[in-house]
Structure 1
Amino acid sequence: MKLQAVLFSSSISAESCSERCDGGLTAANEPCNVESCSIYTDGSNLFGESGTFDTLENWHCINECTAEQVQPGYYSENAALVTGRGQFSAFAQEINGNLFENREYQGRIFIKPKAGNNPGLARVNVRNRKKEDNSSTYTVLKDWVQVPTDSEWIALDFIWNPAEKNDEPLDAYAFGVYIMYTGENGEYEDFYQDESFLIPTGDDPTTTTPLETTTSASNENTFSFTITSGETTFTGEHTSFGNVHFKGIKFAEAERWRAPVMKTSYDASYDATKYGIMCMTSEWHSWRPNVNDMAEDCLFINVHTRPEYITNGEKRPILAYIHGGGLKAGNNRKEYDYLIQEQGVVMFSIQYRLGPYGFLYDHDSPFEHKGNWGFLDQQMALQWIQQFGGEFGGDVNRVTLGGCSAGSQSTWWHLAMPSSWPYFHAAISNGIGVFGQHNETASLDVNRMYNEHIATQLECPQLDVDCLRTKSLDELNNQFRAIGSIYIVEVFHDVGFGPHVDGVLTKKTPLEALFDGQIRPNTPISWNYNRDDVWTLLKEGRFINTLSMFAEFHDRIDEITELMTTSGIEYASDLTDQMFVATYGQEYWDEYLVDVFGCPSGADGTIVDCKWAMNSYLNARMWSCNTQYGFTGAPLTDPNIGPIYPLELHKENCDGQTRACHCQDASWVFGQAWMSDSLSDTEKIYLRAGRDFWGQFIREGTFPTGDDFGEMKSIKELDGKINLVDENGIVHDFAYEQECNALNSLGQEIGYLRVYQNGYYHTFDNEPAVLFGNLLS
Structure 2
Amino acid sequence: MCPQVGPAPGPPSSSSSSMESEDCLFLNVQSPANASNLPVLIYIHGGGYGAGNGRQDFSDLLNTNGNNFVVVSIQYRLGPYGFLASDELNRRGVVNAGLLDQVFALQWVQTYIRDFGGNPSAVTISGESAGGGSVMLMDMAYGGTLGDSLFQNSIAASPYLPKQYSYKDWVPSQAYYAFASAAGCPIGGYGNSTNTIFDCLMSKDTATLQAASIAVTATVTYGTWAFLPVTDGTLVQSAPSSQLIEKRVNGRSLLVGNNANEGAAFTPQDIRDETALLAWLQNTLLEFTPDDLAKVLLYYPISNTSTTKFATNGVSGPSALDTSSIATGQLQRAFNIYGELTFVCPSYWMAEAYAGDDRSSYKYQYSPLPGLHADDLVAYFGPLGSAPYLSTDFQRAMMKIWGNYVTKSDPSISNEFANGSSNSSASANAASSWPVFSNATPYQLNLNQTGGTLVPQTETTQAYLTGPTLKNDFSLANAYTWEAGRGARCDFWRSVAPLVPA
Mapped pair 1:648 → 2:365:
yes
Distance 1:693 1:602 in 2: 37
- Cα gap change, 1:503/1:441 in structure 2, threshold over 3 Å: closer, same or farther? closer
Write out per-residue CA displacement over residues 439-461 of structure 1, whole angstroms, 9 at most, x where no aligned residue: 44554222222223344452452
Of the three residues 288, 298, 306, the one matched with 2:24 is 298
* CA–CA distance in structure 2, aligned partners of residues 413 and 366 of structure 1: 19
Q: Is the 8 A contact 1:318 1:346 kept in 2?
A: yes
2:208 is the alignment partner of 1:475: yes
Q: Give SS of 2:29's match.
A: strand
Q: Of 640, 655, 674, which residue of structure 1 is paired with 2:384? A: 674
Q: Does 1:423 align with 2:150?
A: yes
Stretch moving more, 525-534 or 722-731: 722-731
Give the counterpart letter for 1:412 in structure 2.
Answer: M
Which amino acid is 2:278 matched to? Q
1:691 aligns with 2:409: no
Count of aligned residue pairs for this structure pair: 423
What percentage of aligned pairs have identical amino acids? 21
1:530·1:650 contact (CA, 8 Å) conserved in 2? yes
Instruction: Tell me how far apart the structure 1 counterparts of residues 301 and 55 of structure 2 sit (CA, whole Å).
Output: 39
| CA displacement 1:97-139 (0-9 Å, x = unmatched) | xxxxxxxxxxxxxxxxxxxxxxxxxxxxxxxxxxxxxxxxxxx
Compute the displacement of 1:372 (Å).
Answer: 0.9
- Change in CA separation of 1:323 and 1:475 when aligned onto 2, cut-off 3 Å: same
Counterpart in the other structure of 2:357 = 639
Is 1:532 equivalent to 2:243 in the alignment? Answer: no
Report matched runs for 1:11-26 at 5 Å: none
Shift of 1:609: 6.4
Match of 1:738 in 2: 484
Provide the secondary structure at the position in 2 that maps to 1:499. coil
Aligned to 1:578: 278
Question: Measured at CA, do residues 630 and 383 of structure 1 come closer, stay the same or move farther in structure 2, by a change above 3 Å?
Answer: closer
Q: Match of 1:449, as an amino acid?
A: Q
Letter of the aligned partner of 2:4 in structure 1? Answer: T
- Out of 59, 64, 77, the residue aligned to residue 342 of structure 1 is 64
1:596 matched residue in structure 2: 300
Equivalent residue in structure 1 for 2:199, among 461, 466, 478: 466
Taking the aligned partners of 1:428 and 1:608, their CA distance within structure 2 comes to 31
Asked if structure 2 preserves the Cα contact closer than 8 Å seen for 1:327 and 1:354, the reply is yes
- The structure, 1 or 2, with the larger RCO (C-alpha pairs under 8 Å, 6+ apart) is 2
Unaligned ranges ≥5, structure 2: 308-326, 416-427, 449-471
Deviations 1:335-381 (A, max 9, x none): 12122223212111101110000111363468796111111111111
1:664 and 2:375 are equivalent in the alignment: yes
Q: 1:222 is matched with which residue? A: none
CA distance in 2, matches of 1:439, 1:590: 20
**What SS is found at the alignment partner of 1:664?**
coil
Residues 480-515 of structure 1, C-alpha deviation per residue, up to 9 Å, x if partnerless?
Answer: 233246669xxx883511111111222113332211
Relative distance call for 1:494 and 1:663 in structure 2 (3 A) is closer
Work out which of the residue numbers 279, 289, 297 in structure 1 matches 2:2.
279
Gaps (5+ residues) in structure 1? Answer: 1-277, 544-568, 653-658, 760-777
CA deviation digits over 1:520-556, x for unaligned, max 9?
Answer: 15x1100011111223x24xxx52xxxxxxxxxxxxx
For 2:376, what is the secondary structure of its paired residue? Answer: helix
Structure 2 length-normalised TM: 0.73
Counting only pairs closer than 5 Å after superposition, residues 127-276 of structure 1 correspond to structure 2 as: none
2: distance between equivalents of 1:602 and 1:366?
52
Q: Indicate conservation of the 8 Å contact 2:141/2:249, yes or no.
A: yes
Shift of 1:396: 1.4
1:600 deviates by 10
Q: Tell me: CA distance 1:693–1:476, structure 2 relative to 1, closer, same or farther (3 Å).
A: closer
Query: Residues 297 and 747 of structure 1: is their aligned pair in 2 closer, same or farther, counting only changes over 3 Å?
Result: closer
Question: Take 2:73 and 2:240, find their aligned partners in 1: how far apart are those partners?
Answer: 23
Give the 3 Å change call, closer, same or farther, for CA 631–390 of structure 1 in structure 2.
Answer: closer
Letter matched to residue 112 of structure 2: F
The Cα of 1:519 is off from its aligned counterpart by 0.5
Q: What's the secondary structure of 2:395's corresponding residue?
A: helix
Give the TM-score of the pair, scaled to structure 1.
Answer: 0.49
Partner of 2:124, secondary structure, is strand
Is 1:534–1:619's contact at 8 Å kept on the other side of the alignment?
yes
1:453 to 154, 165, 178: 178
Evaluate the alpha carbon distance shift between residue 577 and residue 507 of structure 1 in structure 2; reply closer, same or farther with a 3 A threshold.
Answer: same
1:355 matched to 2:82: no
2:28–2:74 CA contact under 8 A, matched in 1: yes
SS in 1 for 2:72: strand
The one-character-per-residue Cα deviations of 1:178-235 (angstroms, maximum 9, x if unpaired) are: xxxxxxxxxxxxxxxxxxxxxxxxxxxxxxxxxxxxxxxxxxxxxxxxxxxxxxxxxx
Aligned-residue Cα RMSD (Å) equals 3.7
Instruction: Pick closer, same or farther for the CA change 1:581–1:308 going to 2, 3 Å.
Output: closer
Deviation at 1:592, TM superposition (A): 5.7
Q: What CA distance in whole angstroms lies between the structure 2 residues aligned with 1:758 and 1:595?
A: 18
Q: Which has the higher strand share?
A: 1
Measure how far apart 1:623 and its partner are: 2.3
The one-letter code matched in structure 2 to 1:570 is D
